[in-house]
Structure 1
Amino acid sequence: MKIVVVGGTGMVGRNVVTKLQERGHEVIAAAPQTGFNTLTGEGVDATLEGAEVVLDVTNAPNMEEGPATDFFRTSGRTLLAAEKKAGVRHHVTLSIVGVDRPHDLGYYRAKVAQEQVVRDGDVPFTIVRSTQFFEFMKAVVDGNADGDTVRLPTTMVQPIAVTDLAAELASIAVEAPVGDVVEVAGPEAMPLDEFARRLTAVTGDGRTVTTDPSVRPFFGVELDGRLLVPGPGARLAATDLPAWLAA
């Protein structure tokens, strides 16, 4: 099966390409540096010729709400029009758990706009909403350190390993389109401050983690306590924090 991974040279995309190739598929990693540009249309029609599945795992280059929304809408419409022309049978878009809940995150609203473009299109689709990556959560911990102290709130998180997300995306790509959302997450939900304590304990980090409800570690925005965890029925990956660190 010919599968095009848009954003296939990025962190998630590279892993998805590998997982699909391991399963014997013909996979193209599409990105601006490969001559594939969904804003201008360059290389899009030629790359999608003969493709049965397209996975869109792109990130907006600017995370502010306005530019990100413009990017996702333009990119999505260009891609879906080309997919319809090429006879693509399944479009898979990577989104984020929590984008449909009350929040004040501009980038999340941009992802909602991207999802709506997919819903409004003519190609059968699956929207995959993922929880935050272990890699990102570690950066959040490091970014809230003040000397030997890390201050974090009790916001619930359920991180997933990028390799596990890639495996889920590879599986979903070759399944039938669901025409709706599938959530994927790591194996365990925990408060963010507890995640930091476990992280520092496993790594031998000498910093002290302090619970501080006033800290807003995600773009300076106050979050609902369970915004970042999935709802019932999510597909749960196997890799926990110790296993991720060991890998």
Structure 2
Amino acid sequence: MLDDATTLLAALRMGWQTPQHSENWRHPVAILTDLLSTARLITDTTPQAELVKSFLEMPRRAALSMLAGAWQESESFNELRQIPGLVCEGEWTNSPLITRHSLLNLLATIPHNQWWSLPAFIRAVKENNPDFQRPAGDYDSWFIRRAGSETYLRGFEHWDEVDGALIRYLVTGPLFWLGMTDLASAEDGGLATAFRIKSNVEGQMSDFRPSTFNEKGKLTVTSDGKINVPRLVPRA
């Protein structure tokens, strides 16, 4: 995510039009934009020069931790409205910050660096804390439907399709992108079936491997004019 965020900042600074869907982006551009806004690195789509300069000069670990901290405390970054395949309609509101903290607190009870079944964790939340994002257990006032369907997912019978999907998205989306979880699946390219927490999620900091973030890559130019930029070339 850090590399895509840096690329997006460069594109915005140069006034380029950024495609919302492209094989060159590992993360959705709309979500990257939300994250950069949450971290106050951009206002609307305008980079904030001094803050961006400081961000680019940070070591990778510090920069990723800064993004993680901004995400964790954001009231505007709304994971529920980002879930692929779901459409949220109407004037109702949810509380993403409260919901995020509730789920992070549940995840904080899991021993770190041990693999856990993601479906089993979702089932445990459903059995013990089903209303983690629903004030007073209200399952009727939110108008959420599947893309391509006109049927709203209202009522507790749709918990797995909405609330369970949110848990899966949080673990396999933001937490994974920000370096806090590892994922495993039964087959290459399949849905994640297990996860492990790499760090104390509640404490924001991740136990990154130092070698992973050793920024000693070098930009090279070949004789035919091709420019090679390794992933770990310094960002500043």
Compute the TM-score of the two structures, normalised by the length of structure 2. Answer: 0.24
Compute the TM-score of the two structures, normalised by the length of structure 1. Answer: 0.23
Instruction: Indicate the structure with greater strand content.
Output: 1
